[in-house]
Structure 1
Amino acid sequence: MACFYVDDDWNASFYLKSLIADFRSDPYVLHSATEPYTFYTNLVWTYFDKNIDLHTGFSWIGCGSIFLREYAQRHLQYLQVYLKNNRNLVYLSDVFFSIWLNDIPSQFNINIYGLTGRNSGASFSSSSNFLQYQHQSSILAIRILEHNLRYNQSNATSHLGFVRRSNRRFPYYIKSSSLKDDFIFFTNILPIDIENIPFNISKDFERSTRKNLPRGPSVAFFLSHTTLSAVDNDSKTCWRPGRNARRGEFFAIDFLRIQTNLSFSLTVGHTQELQDNLDFNLSLDGLWWITYRSLNGIKRKSQDLTSGEHQHVIVFNATEFNAGFHSFRYVAFNESKISSSGEFQ
């Protein structure tokens, strides 16, 4: 059913349980993992064009990824057809893989770790032509996909074409697994509005190349307040989206499987007013949610940091929740008001 892919110089064991759970909840997209700067870069390297059903993005799969076996089999067919005149680029087929899926990958924003004590000689990426081939592959991948989607839009002929419909179950999230790999923190607040980045193949064909690496205050802020800061067990750091929460936005936790009578705590730096106005929702599958409106099983205490900042620690004990709310896999804190009273943190 599924394929697991990782380069031989990366250790995916630190987030493997989260990666598997994420795949099982949404098996029709590519699930991968990378570090924060590359995660942000991959958001920049996305392509949308509703006129031809283009909705794809880049992801390195070498740090650990899971995808359907049929996607791998189809990709091998694509390589035979579309790289028959560029056989030297087959060794960089992972550059083509995520783009040709024509769907935004589900990526973990995490710390990645190399394997220690490994010595297998010079890597392929250190070869003299690697950067040239990588640049060429990045351009060719989107050119081939865009050309075929546009051709299919105006022709009814039957030939080996690319997938046009997105089959994902969930919207686009930022997600980070915990240090113990026992839960996932995620949010639907992206640092970039990826669906509204203009795209024109005649001038944007180099978007997913090293010529288009993000710089400036936006990426710097993201790296300083990424979702990783929500799961690092450090009270001096926190996740911040950088603006006030908007209606429909949320932060959430996936406990990887349905659990009963679970206890957990949440430390927040935003105001008590904002927290009190959030809907506390529970779900078994992440698609259907129910709001828990009682305070039974929920306790709050305040703490002051040496920096002078004030935090609230909220303790949730599901054994004391009302009947019918003892079992869940996901919890979410949703902004349901039209006007927010602050920024999540």
Structure 2
Amino acid sequence: MAATKYCYFQDDDWMIKHLRSMYSNFLRFPNLIHTDTNADVYSSTNWKWCFFDDDIDLHSCYSWVGTGAFTSRENVLKFLKMTSKTEMSSLEFIYGDMYFTTYLNQVPYQLENSLIELPQENGFSLTGKDRMLNKLYMHKALIRLYNYLSLLKSKNNNNPSTQMIEDTKEFSPTLYERDVRSPCHNDKCLFLTNKHSFPNVKLFKYKPYINISESERLHSSFFNTQHFISYPYSHAVDNDNSTAWISQDVIRKDDYIGLDLLLPMPVPLTFNLIIDHKSDYFNHLSIQISHDGSAWVSINNIIFSFIMKILTIIIII
């Protein structure tokens, strides 16, 4: 029913503090649904709840929309068409929010930060029986999507002229091309890094006969996400010097971290960067700033404090 180009979803039992920064990134890539979640769920939605099969162009990761989600009206209409094409029952449609991100067959652009859950009787919980119910419908959605894509692939193979009728290719930026990770605590910037926290999701090829709980077990036996949950991206920009984002993978050449300030700042700004490493580590840092993301100025002084109008800071290792 919405007449606007974009839609926003949020359950009433969650307090979302970072709408401005999430919306700013969404406007760059409005073809991708943007969701907001905490470290625990993020470790599932970017690893255990990602389902890929290149043979049929399946590339879907599940994400809740109740903790904040921006999407285009076009994607909502696409979802409604998919419910018809896959003959979703009226009972299943009641749980449409549990099908939505899966049915789009595009990995949501997810931001990780702390969430505030408000007390509410009979509210949906991220744990317990509600989470099991969610897995049930996640599994049903995946089977329906898998069967639909398999049928589409078969038709295209039998009649190559129909291959471009329905585009099932993965949108850019893909999961491993994205570097926006978390909103800053004050909602005035975004934390960037090209360091991924989980293995390649394509290591596990989706099999419709494996339920979600078993898939989770297989993923967990291969890679434990507890380190990320303890030291998530958001700890880099939570304004708390007692917490930190700690990469589980070693730092390599061309790895970077950065801040995107979203808009040109009308006032001078001061930044303090705290990195807990030995002094020789700093000899290999390259610090650059940019007003527009295209033209960059290098800062040679490693221990730096500066005041200027900027849009983005990138630190390249």
* Distance in 2 of aligned mates of 1:92 and 1:316: 51
SS state at 1:259 partner: coil
Contact 1:251/1:333 (8 A) holds in 2: yes
84, 87, 90: which one aligns with 2:90: 87
Moved more, 22-31 or 35-44: 22-31
TM-score, normalisation: structure 2: 0.81
SS state at 2:261 partner: strand
Change in Cα spacing, 1:266 to 1:33, as seen in structure 2 (3 Å) is: same
298, 312, 315: which one aligns with 1:330: 312
* Distance in 2 of aligned mates of 1:149 and 1:282: 47
The residue number in structure 2 matching 1:168 is 173
Contact 2:178/2:194 (8 A) holds in 1: yes
Mapping for residues 223-234 of structure 1, pairs under 5 Å: 223-234=229-240
Contact 1:174/1:189 (8 A) holds in 2: no
* Distance in 2 of aligned mates of 1:132 and 1:184: 31
Change in Cα spacing, 1:281 to 1:25, as seen in structure 2 (3 Å) is: farther
The residue number in structure 2 matching 1:218 is 224
Mapping for residues 1-345 of structure 1, pairs under 5 Å: 1-12=5-16, 14-44=17-47, 45-84=49-88, 86-116=89-119, 118=120, 130=133, 133-144=136-147, 146-148=149-151, 150-151=153-154, 153-154=156-157, 155=159, 156-157=161-162, 161=166, 163-168=168-173, 171-173=177-179, 175-201=181-207, 205-206=210-211, 209-213=212-216, 215=220, 218-259=224-265, 261-284=268-291, 286=293, 288=294, 290-295=296-301, 300=303, 314-318=304-308, 326-327=309-310, 329-335=311-317
Taking only the aligned residue pairs, the percentage that are identical comes to: 21
Query: 1:203-226: CA deviations, max 9, x gaps?
Result: 6x53xx244336477312111211
Larger strand percent: 1
SS state at 1:223 partner: helix
SS state at 1:48 partner: strand
Q: Which amino acid aligns with 2:100?
A: F
Q: Which amino acid aligns with 1:316?
A: F
TM-score, normalisation: structure 1: 0.75
Alpha-carbon distance, 1:105 to partner: 1.4
Query: 1:30-79: CA deviations, max 9, x gaps?
Result: 11011111101112222334444433322111100101111111111111
Give the root-mean-square deviation of aligned CA atoms.
3.2
Change in Cα spacing, 1:134 to 1:317, as seen in structure 2 (3 Å) is: same
Contact 2:50/2:62 (8 A) holds in 1: yes
Q: Structure 2: 5+ residue runs without aligned partners?
A: none
Give the length in aligned residue pairs: 302
* Distance in 1 of aligned mates of 2:52 and 2:257: 25
Alpha-carbon distance, 1:158 to partner: 7.5
SS state at 1:28 partner: coil
Alpha-carbon distance, 1:90 to partner: 1.0
